Amino acid sequence: MRNRFLYHGSWWLLVVTIVACLSFPSGIVIAQTSTWLTGIIGGTEKDGYGTKHSSTTTELVDQKHPETSRIGFGDWLTFSANLDLSYRKTQFYESGHNVALFQWDSKAELWLPPGRDFFSWGSYVRMSGVESNRDYEWENNWGARPGFGFQVYPFSSARLRKEGGEFYQKLAKLFGPLHLFAEYNHLHYNGRGNAWRPDEQVRIGADYWKEVNVHDMSKQVWWETWNGLTWHSTNGFDKDYDTLIFANVLRVGTRKSNAGFLSMFTPYLAVESSLSENDNYFWENRLLLGGGIRFAPPLSGYLQKSSPWLNRLVIHVEYLEAVAYYGDSALSSTPDHDFRVGINVNIGEWWYKER
């Protein structure tokens, strides 16, 4: 079964992502959107908007790097969060599920010498969770209350990026967002009936987020991707879960460039894939295809002045359909599609940025 990791569609999606990374030399922003994994995450970049963010509205907005919308103290202590509010028609669980979800993920990150801008590595404290208007435990829990971890961006070296030869600079640009981490999370599932569920989890893995031109009204094509390979010690019902999960997301859209308000509306195509070591968990082993339309305004002007800490603002309407299962197929009663409406916001410098 483990050999399926060598052949399934996620590897081809990863290859497409790498080719796209090499083909678009635009400014970098980081983002994530996932089906069954919690959260949709992202970031910002000065070059993507052609403007610099003001730091006059709050003392916590980093005065040393105002253009990054960083919240914290210099390049040694930063704070950031991802907030997502959405409606989902089926959640690929049941027809008429009609759930409203609020998902959050936040970090306080301590960057070790020589500092985040010179080499990004250090420890962090994490708080994350999800709440909904339904009673299911997987839609009402704390994924980290709190979590503690250590992380490193191995290709973030300033010397590699600025003093290396052309090859090394391209290498750093391509793999700069590569993120290695190990973390311990205290889990909590709401409701007295969930006291039996695992309350501890270890996650070890690597992920890669990148976003190009999402908020740049002058660019016709935008795209964003997330790829992750993570080992989980537990899940919501198995303290001996001990599973490796490989997941990928790619969204590609187009807009009418330099068209004012019209440029903020963009249709897009979406691909999501996930593969785990559990063949019989169909929700962990499937390929989703779909598309939608999103509203993504430029983070400049009024937004820049009133909310310098805002790194991402996306409102979307989206349809996804399960087109293949890599292991066991879903039950016949399980919906193979989902309709979603949501808004996603990033506060602070949520993911790696090229300097």
| 96 inside domain | no
The yes-or-no verdict on residue 39 having pLDDT over 90 is no
The CA-CA-CA angle for residues 16, 20, 25, to 5°, reads 165
Amino acid 349: pLDDT: 87
- Across the range 43-61, mean pLDDT stands at 36
| 308 inside domain | yes
- Distance between CA atoms of 119 and 155, rounded to whole angstroms? 8
| 127 inside domain | no
Residue 62: alpha-carbon gap to chain centroid:
23
Contact 101, 86 (CB under 8 A): yes
Question: Helices 166-175 and 9-23, interaxial angle, to 10°?
Answer: 130
| 239 inside domain | yes
| 45 inside domain | yes
At residue 73, what are phi and psi to the nearest 5 degrees? -130, 100
H-helix or E-strand containing 12? helix 9-23
Structure tokens at 86: 């959405």
The percentage of residues in the chain with a pLDDT greater than 90, rounded to a whole number, is: 66
The yes-or-no verdict on residue 76 having pLDDT over 80 is yes
The yes-or-no verdict on residue 20 having pLDDT over 50 is no
Q: Long-range contacts: 301-305, Cβ < 8 Å, 24+?
A: 304/51, 304/53, 304/54, 305/54, 305/57
H-helix or E-strand containing 63? none
Task: Write the pLDDT tens digit of every residue in 190-233.
Answer: 988 899 999 999 999 999 999 999 999 999 999 999 999 999 99
| 10 inside domain | yes
Separation in Å, CA 202 to CA 47, 150, 205, 208, 247: 37, 12, 10, 19, 18
- Distance between CA atoms of 2 and 8, rounded to whole angstroms? 11
- How many Cα atoms sit within 13 Å of 315 on the Cβ side? 5
Name the 3-class secondary structure at 268: strand
| 284 inside domain | yes
The yes-or-no verdict on residue 61 having pLDDT over 70 is no
- Across the range 146-167, mean pLDDT stands at 88
Banded model confidence at residue 43, pLDDT cuts 50, 70, 90: very low
The CA-CA-CA angle for residues 336, 337, 339, to 5°, reads 160
Task: Write the pLDDT tens digit of every residue in 86-136.
Answer: 999 999 999 999 999 999 999 999 999 999 889 999 999 999 999 999 999
C-beta neighbour count of 230 within 10 angstroms: 17
Q: Long-range contacts: 225-229, Cβ < 8 Å, 24+?
A: 225/17, 225/20, 225/31, 225/249, 225/250, 225/251, 226/31, 226/32, 226/33, 226/34, 226/41, 227/13, 227/14, 227/17, 228/37, 229/205
For 67-80, b where at least 16 C-beta lie within 10 A, e where not — what string?
Answer: bbbbbbeebbebbb
Contact 67, 53 (CB under 8 A): yes
- How many Cα atoms sit within 13 Å of 61 on the Cβ side? 20
| 133 inside domain | no
Banded model confidence at residue 354, pLDDT cuts 50, 70, 90: low
H-helix or E-strand containing 318? strand 310-325
The yes-or-no verdict on residue 319 having pLDDT over 60 is yes
Amino acid 22: pLDDT: 47
Greater model confidence, 303 or 299: 299
Number of domains within the chain: 1
Amino acid 60: pLDDT: 53
Task: Write the pLDDT tens digit of every residue in 243-272.
Answer: 999 999 999 999 999 999 999 999 999 999
- How many Cα atoms sit within 13 Å of 341 on the Cβ side? 5
Amino acid 40: pLDDT: 28
- Across the range 333-350, mean pLDDT stands at 94
- Distance between CA atoms of 133 and 321, rounded to whole angstroms? 23
Separation in Å, CA 230 to CA 167, 189, 203: 29, 22, 7
Amino acid 165: pLDDT: 79
Average pLDDT over the chain reads: 83
The yes-or-no verdict on residue 25 having pLDDT over 50 is no
> Which of 14-28, 36-50, 129-143, 178-192 shows the lowest mean pLDDT across its residues?
36-50
Greater model confidence, 55 or 311: 311
Beta-sheet pairing, 71-73 with 310-325: unpaired
Separation in Å, CA 100 to CA 86, 335, 341: 6, 18, 10
**Residue 78 lies in domain:** 4-88+168-180+189-347
